[in-house]
A and B are shown apart, each in its own frame.
Chain A
C-alpha cells in the first residue's frame, strides 16, 4: 500500500481494494516500526487517525466522499490542530494544546483525509537541516548519517520512507523545496497568499507559505487543490479562484520556454548536482521545450536581505511567547522581567535566539534604515528580477540546493548553513511559486530540480513537473530504508 501514489490510493479506496482503516493501520504500523530510527514524527495520533478512517469508510459506504477521502497524511507540527499538541519543534510549546485548527487542517478534514500525526521540524521553522528541533534531529531515509533538510524535514523524511503517502509543510526560505530535494520527493511552495496562513505558527509572516510534500507532482496537484483558496481569517490570503490543478497536468510542453538563471549555476554549486540538473533540462528539450540562459542579477543579495527581513519579523512574531498565557514558564520568577527573560531563555533553542537577536538588533534605533529599509528595497529589486525574467520565459529551472543532503552535524557555523538556501530564498522574497522534483542522485543522495513560475503559476509548474515525471523515474526511486526498517 505504501508504494502507491495518492491517485492510486484514491482509486484503490474507491474500488474497495482496501478500506481507509486498513490503509491507516498499515501506515501507523510502519511509523511504529521505523520512526524510532528516523524521528520524523513529534506526535503520532493513532487513535484519532483510526477514528477518522472509520468515519471516512462510513461516508464512502454512504456514497458521500470526495476523491481524497480516507487517505492518510501528516502535518508539520507548525499547523495548529485542535485538542492536540502543536509544538512547532520547540520546548516553548511542548505543552501547548491548540484550541483551534489551522485553515489548512480544516480544509483537509473537510476533504475527508486522515491525519496520522505531527511531523518533526526545525524549531519555529528556523533551519535548513532539522537539527534545531527540540525533539532531536530527523534522519534522512536515504542515508541515516545525512540530514533530511529543513525546516519541513520530518514531513519530507516520512514521505520518502513510506511512512505516510504525503505530508504538509511550510516554506519561508526553502523549507519545503530543500527537504523535498534532500529526500528525493516532490515539494511545492505555492504563491504567497495562495494558501491561508491562519493557524500556522508564524515564523516570518511576509514569507511563510504552506504546501504539500508528496511522491509526485500529480499528488501535489491533488493536495494543493484542497488547501488553496481565500480565507477571511488571513488578510494576506488572496481572493482568487482555485483552478483544477489536476486537469492541466497532461498539457504538452512543446514551445515551453525555460530560463536557466546563470546565477544558479555559479560558484558553490556541486558539479555533480549541476550535471544532474542539466540532464533534467535536456529531458525537457526532448519534450519540445526551448532553453535559454537568463539573469537574476540580485540573486546574491537574497540571503543578506532574507536574514534581515525574516529575523525582524520573527523577533516580533515570537514576542508572544512570554510565559503568561500559554507555553513554557520558568519556575518561581522573582519578578516580571525575570519571568520573561528566563521563560524565553529556557523555552527557545540556540538558532531561534540567534534570529531573535539579529531581528531585534536590525530593527532597533540607529540600525533600522541601514538594515530593514535597505533589505526591503533590495527585496523589490529581487522581485523585479523574476518579473523581468518571466517576461521572456515561462519557467525558470535550476538546482534546489547547491549540494545533496549534507551530513548531520556538518554545518556548525550558522552562516554556512544559511548559504545552503541560496537557490530557494529569493523565491520567498518575491512571493512566487516553486516546486522541487527528484532529478537524480549524487553519492546515493537525491538531487532536486527546482522549477519556478510567476505569481499564481502553480498549475503550470505542476504540469511542467508532471511531464518530467512521465518521462523519468527519479521520483519512483525508494530508499532501501523504506523496506529494511518499515
Chain B
C-alpha cells in the first residue's frame, strides 16, 4: 500500500511531530521503501493463525493491593521543565 504525503502528515500529527515540507517529502521516500519491504507480509497466507503478542505463552501475575509508594514529588519534579505549587505546567488547555 503506497505511502502518500497525506499519510505521513496524518501520522506526524497523530504522533505530535512537527515536520517541515522538506522533511515530509524525505519521510514519504523513506516510509515508502519501508512499507514496500513490509508489504512482503501480504504474500503469506495467515488464515486461521492467531496473532502472537508475547513470545512466551505466559499470563499476567497479579499484585497485592498494597500502598508501597511514598511521596517523591520533589525528586520527580526535579527533572520537570515547568512546575508551580506542585503542578506540572502546560500552555492553557481549552476544554
The interface of chain A, by Cβ under 8 A from chain B, is: 95-97, 99, 191-193, 206-207, 232, 235-236, 238-239, 298, 300-301, 303-305, 307-308, 315, 319, 322-327, 329, 333-342, 344-345, 348, 353-354, 356-358, 360-362, 364, 367, 370-371, 373-381, 383, 413-415, 418, 428-432, 455
A341, B20: Cα distance in complex, Å: 11
Best-buried of B44, B55, B78, B88 by chain A (most CB within 10 Å): B55
CB of B58 within 8 Å of the partner chain:
yes
A374, B93: Cα distance in complex, Å: 38
B35, B78, B81, B92: the one within 8 Å of A97 (CB) = B78
CB distance from A163 to the nearest CB of B (A): 29
Which 3 A-B pairs rank lowest in CB-CB distance, beginning with the nearest? A431-B55, A376-B51, A377-B46
B80 near A325 (CB under 8 angstroms)?
yes
B17 near A192 (CB under 8 angstroms)?
no
B11, B56, B75: the one within 8 Å of A455 (CB) = B56
What band does the interface of chain B fall in when counting residues whose beta carbon is under 8 Å from A?
35 or more
Give chain A residues whose Cβ lies under 8 Å from the Cβ of B38: 304, 307-308, 358, 362, 371, 375
B18 near A342 (CB under 8 angstroms)?
yes
Q: A235-B61, A341-B17, A367-B1 are in contact. Are A192 and B55 (CB under 8 A)?
A: yes
A308, B31: Cα distance in complex, Å: 12
A232, B17: Cα distance in complex, Å: 35
B47-95 interface with A by 8 A CB criterion: 49-56, 58, 60-61, 63, 72, 75-76, 78-82, 88, 90-93
Give chain A residues whose Cβ lies under 8 Å from the Cβ of B91: 333-336, 338-339
B15 near A354 (CB under 8 angstroms)?
no
Q: A99-B79, A337-B16, A357-B12 are in contact. Are A429 and B37 (CB under 8 A)?
A: no
Chain B residue nearest in CB terms to A432: B55
A233, B23: Cα distance in complex, Å: 40
Give chain A residues whose Cβ lies under 8 Å from the Cβ of B10: 361, 364
A414 near B56 (CB under 8 angstroms)?
no
> What are 20 A-B pairs with beta-carbon distances under 8 A?
A99-B78, A236-B58, A301-B44, A308-B41, A319-B16, A322-B16, A336-B92, A341-B17, A344-B15, A344-B18, A345-B18, A357-B11, A357-B12, A358-B31, A360-B12, A377-B50, A381-B46, A418-B37, A429-B55, A431-B54
